[in-house]
């Protein structure tokens, strides 16, 4: 293939370089088009724009492929765990035994929040959404560790290993601290010998201490949810994180921006919408049958089915379905809501209407069911998403800090008023 393409505008022709990724993705390099031609390209919502070159995650939505650093998501879900996968996503390689031990030691070291951060979290109004509290907590955390939070790329990169471990560890502590505060309860002490997710579940729900027993299948299900959400290429929150980082901002500010972007219902709130839909069906006295027919007529929307990127079965959903079944069995959970969910899943997987449109259950469908069964408040579901996505955001911050040469600055097509004279108030 030629290494450039020609773009003709009127009588002028401009040569554009062709970029090719390692998975044969191809792009036209238009980075100097405006300088050469005075034209920019228009792509509303960036749906067909490559904003960067990245080494972190590869997705092929048509084939249902998701890989972190070249490793297939199914293989990682089967053989790895959230912390090992976090290391892979951030640093690019699977860790050796000594590397993962050091990584886990750092994360355990930073699990406890400084008192001023706890005060900042609990000072938020009681009606504050947990995602707003999480973003505020990250800003407070950066203030508590000023040596990690300099807005000087070289200095921030030198302390990145500690910053990354601190943020990964305390994202769960911020969430649990706020949850317990609203219940007028104390967070049980952290146990450095326990797994990441076991500690988090205990901090959230244990009555007395983190040593309380919890079924392995339940801990594994949450670990798997985090692993499956660790990164997902250039989505809204990750692109926001990279945009902020491109200006030289520290990891705490950049990830707080990612949290705020994820907060939106079109991005991180999908698993909450699943539970809302199931409650709506139940309140209507429906077992799901009427809702399915209504969805086929376009009158209602089946939440948790289909995906903007995947035109095939979301590979994460296949993995999470088995974990969902195991966790619910271990918890002994049975409710009309879960029965409705199973019926929707069963019907959608065999009904030609959904199969032909590739409206398969996605990762949000199963994660919402698991999180409700575990007892997480619905408004905390997006916080759980954020905890899982943290290593991906950190990986992209690091990539920008190491390779970024300029601040990101999109262009626009102005459609407002042309030049107008100012009129005094008497003449308006």
The half-sphere exposure of 376 on its side-chain side, counting CA atoms within 13 A, is 28
Which entry of 223, 307, 314, 396 is annotated as an active-site residue? 307
What is the DSSP annotation of 137-166? HHHHHHHH-GGG--S-HHHHHHTHHHHHHH
Going through 46-152 in order, the beta strands assigned E by DSSP cover 57-60, 65-68, 71-72
What is the DSSP annotation of 164-192? HHHHHHHHHHHHHHHHHHHTT-PPPPP-T
| Token digits of residue 363 | 């990762």
| Token digits of residue 357 | 């449109």
Query: Does the active-site annotation cover 229?
Result: no
Reading phi first (left if > 0) and then psi (alpha if -120 to 50, else beta), residue 92 is in left
Query: Per this entry, what is the length of the chain?
Result: 428
| Residue 34 contacts residue 14 (beta carbons within 8 Å) | no
251: closest CA among 123, 342, 158?
158
Q: Dihedrals φ, ψ of 186, to 5°?
A: -95, 150
Query: Does the active-site annotation cover 231?
Result: no
| Residue 290 contacts residue 425 (beta carbons within 8 Å) | no
Going through 308-353 in order, the beta strands assigned E by DSSP cover none
What angle in degrees, to the nearest 10, is found between the helix axes of 216-228 and 381-403? Answer: 40
Q: For residues 37 and 321, give the distance between their C-alpha atoms in angstroms, rounded to a whole number.
A: 52
Query: Residue 361: helix, strand or coil by DSSP?
Result: strand
| Residue 54 contacts residue 73 (beta carbons within 8 Å) | no
9 forms beta bridges with: 12
| Residue 271 contacts residue 385 (beta carbons within 8 Å) | yes
72: closest CA among 253, 329, 316?
316
Which entry of 223, 231, 314, 364 is annotated as an active-site residue? 364
14 forms beta bridges with: 7
Q: For residues 280 and 286, give the distance between their C-alpha atoms in angstroms, rounded to a whole number.
A: 9
The residues annotated as belonging to the active site are 307, 364
């Amino acid at each position: 293939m030629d290494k450039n393409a020609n773009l003709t505008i009127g009588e002028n022709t401009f040569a554009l370089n062709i970029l090719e990724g390692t998975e044969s993705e191809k792009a036209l390099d238009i980075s100097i088009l405006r300088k050469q031609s005075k034209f920019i390209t228009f792509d509303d919502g960036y749906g067909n724009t490559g904003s960067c070159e990245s080494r972190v995650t590869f997705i092929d939505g048509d084939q249902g492929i998701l890989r972190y650093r070249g490793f297939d998501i199914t293989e990682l879900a089967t053989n790895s765990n959230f912390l090992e996968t976090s290391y892979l996503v951030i640093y690019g390689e699977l860790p050796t035994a000594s590397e993962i031990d050091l990584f886990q030691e750092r994360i355990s070291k930073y699990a406890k929040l400084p008192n001023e951060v706890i005060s900042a979290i609990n000072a938020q109004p009681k009606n504050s959404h947990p995602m707003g509290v999480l973003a505020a907590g990250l800003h407070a955390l950066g203030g508590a560790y000023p040596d990690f939070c300099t807005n000087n790329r070289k200095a921030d990169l030198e302390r990145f290993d500690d910053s990354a471990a601190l943020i990964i560890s305390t994202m769960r502590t911020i969430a649990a601290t706020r949850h317990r505060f609203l219940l007028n309860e104390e967070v049980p002490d952290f146990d450095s010998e326990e797994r990441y997710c076991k500690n988090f579940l205990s901090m959230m729900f244990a009555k007395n201490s983190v040593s309380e027993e919890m079924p392995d299948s339940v801990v594994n299900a949450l670990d798997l949810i985090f692993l499956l959400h660790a990164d997902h290429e250039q989505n809204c929150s990750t692109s926001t994180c990279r945009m902020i980082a491109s200006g030289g901002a520290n990891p705490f500010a950049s990830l707080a921006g990612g949290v705020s972007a994820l907060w939106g219902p079109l991005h991180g709130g999908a698993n909450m919408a699943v539970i809302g839909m199931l409650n709506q069906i139940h309140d209507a006295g429906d077992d799901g049958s009427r809702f399915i027919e209504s969805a086929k007529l376009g009158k209602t929307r089946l939440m948790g089915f289909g995906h903007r990127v995947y035109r095939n079965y979301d590979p994460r959903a296949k993995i999470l379905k088995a974990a969902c079944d195991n966790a619910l069995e271990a918890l002994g959970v049975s409710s009309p809501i879960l029965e409705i969910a199973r019926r929707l899943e069963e019907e959608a997987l065999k009904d030609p209407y959904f199969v032909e449109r590739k409206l398969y259950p996605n990762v949000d469908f199963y994660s919402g069911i698991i999180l409700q069964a575990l007892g997480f408040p619905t408004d905390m579901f997006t916080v759980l998403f954020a905890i899982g996505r943290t290593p991906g955001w950190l990986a992209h911050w690091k990539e920008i800090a190491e390779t970024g040469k300029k601040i990101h600055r999109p262009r626009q097509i102005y459609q407002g008023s042309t030049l107008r004279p100012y009129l005094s108030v008497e003449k308006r």
